[in-house]
Amino acid sequence: MNVHEYQAKEVWKSFGIPVPPGEVATTAAEVEAIARKLGGQVVVKAQVHSGGRGKAGGVKLAANPAEAREKAEKILGMEIQGLRVNKVLVAPALDIAHEYYLGIVLDRKAQLPLIMISREGGIDIEEVARTNPAALVKFHFDPTVGLRPFEARRLALAIEPKPEVAFQIAAILQKLAVAFCKSDATLAEINPLIKTPAGEVLALDAKLNVDDNGLFRQKTIEAMRDLTAEHQEDREAREVGLSYIKLEGEIGCVVNGAGLAMATMDLVKFFGGQPANFLDIGGSSDPKKVVTAIRIITRDPKVRAILFNIFGGITRCDDVARGLIQAVAETGVKLPIVIRLTGTNEAEARELLKSQPGLTPAESMDEAVKKAVELAQA
Amino acid sequence: MSILIDQKTKVVVQGITGRDGSFHAKAMKAYGTRVVAGVTPGKGGQSLEGIPIFDSMSEAVERTGADTSVIYVPPPFAADAILEAAYSGIQLVVAVTEGVPTLDMVPVLRELANLGTRLIGPNCPGLISPGKSKVGIMPADIHRPGPVGVVSRSGTLTYEMVYQLSRHDIGQSTCIGIGGDPLIGTNFIDALDLFQNDPETQAVVMIGEIGGTAEEEAARFIRERMSKPVVAFIAGQTAPPGKRMGHAGAIISGGSGTAAEKIKALEEAGIPVARIPSEAGPLIRKALGL
């Protein structure tokens, strides 16, 4: 799960990481009022779950409250990578003497959290990793021990020679390591961490991605979920426990299991079609999931055929068949449907679907995909 | 032979009184697996179709001599269940549970390494040595005993591949689902090494998918250390980039993780890659000289 910058900054604050003041607004009038309260030059920042906000024109400086209002009118309602901007963060525009990068990710190879910091911040860190890897200082830490103070100091001194500044960075890094572990994060990033001309170090930005599997014990973060920042189909899918990713093709796919779902998409392409989506109905076999899947897929006007590829294990084929019958009745779907069911309760499923019109059965995955591609092109 | 489990394997089911645990305990027993005990704290003294239930793993191991455990407990308790198994002397722990918080696994994997306990999973279908023993949740009837080892990060895609192999009359020595989570106990290389050293296994099918660099590392291992033929399949060639990988996550892997890069690494190591699942059967037949 992603949270917005302003929410990640609340998390930083709760762990004692210094962040500049700022408030969130949803209207231009609110932005003006916040700018007046803050005084001086402000920055208006789009709050969307997307990178490249600055490049897309979603981050603007304003010299006074009236200008802040003008800039907010432009940013609110704009789309960045297909996501509508509904909220902006208004913060004082600080003078910056230097920008650093601090990040922590989970390194699956080392099976430990990995700290990455750099003297070069405020820019695309992947670019730094590519062009100047020596500028990136890396360190693994054990979350049961945490990042030790001397380790934090040593790391900070590697990117900032002045001890009075480096020790501020070290303290922030240690707190970021605690925040990472306590928040079940998969990514915690401050880019940039800035030094002001007065020598004060602050987190000017905040990015936090949280492990979905940890959300059951992250109630504060779960409550930060912004339903308006999600696509409608993503929200519907999540609410019934489907994993769904929209693609651009014409064949809607309904599959159980992520690996089989990916392999099905690949096969659609192999046989000359294009998948309209990735969709995994998951391990359990609640008919409601199938109904929701059909509803989401049929909303996409590009879809010309629907392909079911089910290999029953924990998922029972007869449950999928029941969901399909219910979905056809509820949505009145007219698109051709190809269905391949193998595994647990396969015979019962066939029996259920025998009298259902408009279905094209298939014996194998290859046959099912070929038929779906043919029907979509007919 | 087979790897990790056979007819002698004595299994204890952790979370045996839950919905999935009881269902699969019965299914494993019906397949012929020696399910000797179940554990659910607070349900000690009860039994499930003749399988005695204990309050703790140490009691279950002491009383039954179990050497393997399979875990169906809910995600918040899974890490503790894995460690309980390891500290009671279990050699092989199979964690089926899906949804274990990733950071819970960091200390668990370090402790297991110190104890010398092998973990399969979490978030995996388990493993089966056809005709001998099944420890997990896979549909048993699609498997046939035979000479091919199967190792996979996926669940249902593994069933599909096994189904294709069996339809081509190619049986399996052992099929292992290593799990789809970022942090897992047994990786491709561990499983490949076991297959290389198993006299019964003559060839291996490896099923990978996008994300991480495990397949690239496996490719290097196969080229340098394996004499047995391996056939691979990689899922996710049409997966859109950047959907799950965080910004900085791409850095550690050096921008890798795509299906195309994995296929390239495998092919450069001389490993045939099936373009589609139904090609795996014919490729394995060829590798076996059939």
Asked if B138 reaches chain A (Cβ–Cβ under 8 Å), the answer is: yes
Query: Inter-chain contact A142–B110, Cβ cutoff 8 Å?
Result: yes
* Res A230: pLDDT: 73
Q: Which of B24, B143, B168, B247 is catalytic?
A: B247
Q: Fill in the amino acid letter for A311.
A: F
What's the pLDDT score for residue A1? 87
Examine the domain organization and report whether B276 and B134 are in the same domain. yes
- pLDDT above 60: residue A166: yes
CA distance B112 to chain A (A): 13
Same domain flag for B89 and B171 = no
* Least-confidence region, from A54-58, A80-84, A291-295, B123-127: A80-84
* Closest to A373 (Cα-Cα) out of A298, A305, A323, A283: A305
Is residue B115 domain-resident?
Answer: yes
Contact B106 A136 (CB under 8 A): no
Contacts of B155 in chain A (CB under 8 A): 257, 259-260, 283, 313
User: Would you call A103 and B248 a contact, using CB atoms and an 8 Å cutoff?
Assistant: yes
Q: How many CB atoms lie within 10 A of CB A29?
A: 12
Of A112, A217, A313, Cβ closest to residue B155: A313
Region A351-373 average pLDDT = 92
User: B232 with B275, same domain?
Assistant: yes
Q: How many residues does chain A have?
A: 378
Residues paired with B252 in a beta bridge: none
B166 shares a domain with B84: no
Residue B2 falls inside a structural domain:
no
Which uninterrupted H or E stretch holds B159? helix B156-167
Nearest CA distance, B274 vs chain A (angstrom): 11
**Tokens read off for A104:** 């922590």
A143 or A287: which carries more pLDDT confidence?
Answer: A143
> Of the ranges A46-60, A68-82, B99-113, which one carries the lowest mean pLDDT score?
A46-60
Tell me which residue in A106, A266, A344 faces B102 most closely, judged by beta carbons. Answer: A106
Angle of helix A317-331 relative to helix A346-353, nearest 10 degrees, comes to: 20
| Cβ–Cβ contact A344 with B under 8 A | yes
> With the CA atoms of B71, B75, B81 and B86 taken in that order, what torsion angle do they form, in degrees rounded to the nearest 10?
80
Cβ pairs bridging A and B (under 8 Å)? 169
What pLDDT was estimated at residue A235? 82
Q: Which domain holds residue B226?
A: 126-287
**Chain B residue closest in CA terms to A52:** B247
* pLDDT confidence band for B277 (50 / 70 / 90): very high
Question: With an 8 Å Cβ cutoff, are A257 and B155 in contact?
Answer: yes
Same domain, B263 and B135: yes
Length of chain B: 290
Per-residue pLDDT band for A227 (boundaries 50, 70, 90) equals: confident
Note the pLDDT of residue B242: 60
Query: Which element (helix H / strand E) includes B127?
Result: strand B126-129
Burial of A240 (0-12, 13-18, 19+ CB in 10 A): middle
Q: How far is residue A57's CA from residue A45's CA, in Å, rounded to a whole number? A: 9
Of residues A253, A359, A327, the one with CA closest to residue A297: A253
- CB contact B197 to A (< 8 Å): no
Q: For residue B277, which residues of chain A lie inside 8 Å, CB to CB?
A: 263, 267, 365
Interhelix angle for A65-75 vs A28-38, to 10°?
140
Domains located in chain A, CATH noted:
22-92 (3.30.1490.20), 98-222 (3.30.470.20), 233-377 (3.40.50.261)
- What chain B residue is nearest to A275 in terms of C-alpha separation? B238
Residue B89 — left, alpha, or beta (φ > 0 → left; ψ -120 to 50 → alpha)? left
CB contact, 8 Å: A5 with chain B?
A: no
Paired tokens of B87: 């500290």
Mean pLDDT score, B37-62 = 97
Last residue of a domain, one of B72, B101, B120: B120
The answer to whether the bond into B122 is cis (omega within 30° of 0) is: yes
Q: Are residues B105 and B154 in the same domain?
A: no
- Does B191 share its domain with B218? yes
Please tell me whether residues B107 and B145 are part of one structural domain: no
Q: Is B247 a catalytic residue?
A: yes
Cβ–Cβ gap A144/B107 under 8 Å: yes
Asked whether the beta carbons of residue B238 and residue A265 sit closer than 8 angstroms, the reply is yes
For all residues of chain A together, what is the average pLDDT? Answer: 92
The answer on B130 and B100 residing in a single domain is no
B103, B130: one domain: no
Query: Under 8 Å CB-to-CB from A55, ≥6 apart: which residues?
Result: none
CATH of the domain at B268: 3.40.50.261
- Of B120, B143, B160, which residue constitutes the final position of a domain? B120
**More confident: A93 or B250:** A93
Hey, is the C-beta of B239 within 8 angstroms of any chain A C-beta?
yes
- A218 close to B (CB below 8 A): no
> Can you tell me the ipTM of this complex?
0.90
| Confidence label for B68 from pLDDT (cuts 50, 70 and 90) | very high
Q: Is B114 on the interface with A (CB under 8 A)?
A: no
pLDDT per residue as tens digits for the range B240-263: 766 543 333 334 444 568 889 999
The answer to whether the CB of B111 falls within 8 A of the CB of B74 is: no
The crossing angle, in degrees rounded to 10, of helices A163-182 and A149-159 is: 120
Which of B120, B135, B166 is the C-terminal boundary of a domain?
B120
Per annotation, catalytic residue among A6, A100, A101, A244: A101
Average pLDDT of span B51-68 = 97
B92 with B213, same domain? Answer: no
User: Could you write out the DSSP letters of every residue in A274-308?
Assistant: -BSEEEE--SS--HHHHHHHHHHHHHSTT--EEEE
DSSP codes of every residue in A82-117: TEE---EEEEE----SEEEEEEEEEETTTTEEEEEE
How sure is the predictor about A285, in pLDDT bands with cuts at 50, 70 and 90?
A: low
Q: How distant is the Cα of A256 from the closest Cα of chain B, in angstroms?
A: 7
| pLDDT value of residue B253 | 46
Residue A161 dihedral angles phi and psi, to the nearest 5°: -70, -25
Mutate to test the interface with B, among A311, A363, A369 (most CBs of B within 10 A): A311
Give domain status of residue B33, yes or no: yes
The Cβ-side half-sphere exposure at A296, using a 13 Å CA radius, reads 31
Residues 65-124 of A with CB under 8 A from B: 103, 105-109, 111-114, 116
pLDDT tens digits along A95-134: 999 999 999 999 888 999 999 999 999 877 778 888 888 8
Answer yes or no: is pLDDT of B38 > 60. yes
* Cβ–Cβ gap B180/A258 under 8 Å: yes
pLDDT at B247: 31
Do A98 and A192 contact (CB within 8 A), yes or no?
Answer: no
CB contact under 8 A, A144 and B106: yes
> Measured between beta carbons, which residues in chain B are less than 8 angstroms from residue A112?
106
Return the CATH number at B42: 3.40.50.720
Q: Which of B156, B166, B158, B261 is nearest to B219 (CA)?
A: B261
Inter-chain CB proximity A217 and B102 less than 8 Å: no
Residues of B in contact with A114 (CB under 8 A): 252
Interface check A143 vs B, CB under 8 A: yes
The pLDDT mean for chain B works out to 92
Per the CB < 8 A criterion, the answer to whether A91 and A97 are in contact is no
Same domain, B91 and B166: no
Whether A242 has its CB under 8 Å from any CB of chain B: the answer is no
